[in-house]
Amino acid sequence: MATKVLLEKLNEAIAREIQVSIQYMWQHIMIKGINSQSVGPIFRQIALAEMLHAEMIAERLEYLGGEPTTQPTPIAIGKKAKDMLKLNKKSEEDAIALYKKIIKIAEKEDDYTTKKLFEQILSEEEDHHNTFSMLLED
């Protein structure tokens, strides 16, 4: 069905989604200070969205004959709200770059379902990136 390259990229995507799910949820729990009441719930909301992404990608990977990873990419929490937001913005930038590659690979393999799935997820990741970017502005 799918090439080894595509299956590996899907697992890389799952590892990233697991990472940010945990990262953002722990930030939601650990954030302190004046921004905690406004930013904390945003971390939680995005963490839950990322877990849904992991689930959708895992379902697709399993359908294509792969086995979903359970290992996240390295998790970084940060100490202060601004540090957390910078880490999260970078995580979203990395995801956006990866998902654009996956879309190209899927298209090349005539896998339009995977392409459509990642176009949808990419749009949501760009929204997350925008949220973190706006929160970092002075």
* pLDDT exceeds cutoff 90 at 22: yes
Q: Are 24 and 75 in contact (CB under 8 A)?
A: no
Domain ranges across the chain: 4-136
pLDDT in tens, 33-74: 998 999 999 999 999 999 999 999 999 999 999 999 999 999
Q: What is the dotted CATH code of the domain comprising 4-136?
A: 1.20.1260.10
Q: What is the DSSP string of 7-33?
A: HHHHHHHHHHHHHHHHHHHHHHHH--S
Q: Taking 80 as the threshold, does the pLDDT of residue 1 lie above it? A: no
Examine the pLDDT at 138 and tell me if it is beyond 90: no
At 75-130, the pLDDT tens digits run 999 999 999 999 999 999 999 999 999 999 999 999 999 999 999 999 999 999 99
Q: Which of 38, 37, 33 is nearest to 78 (CA)?
A: 33
Quick one: pLDDT at residue 35? 87
Residues 46 and 10: their CA atoms lie apart, in Å, by: 20
Per-residue pLDDT at 81: 95
Question: pTM value?
Answer: 0.96
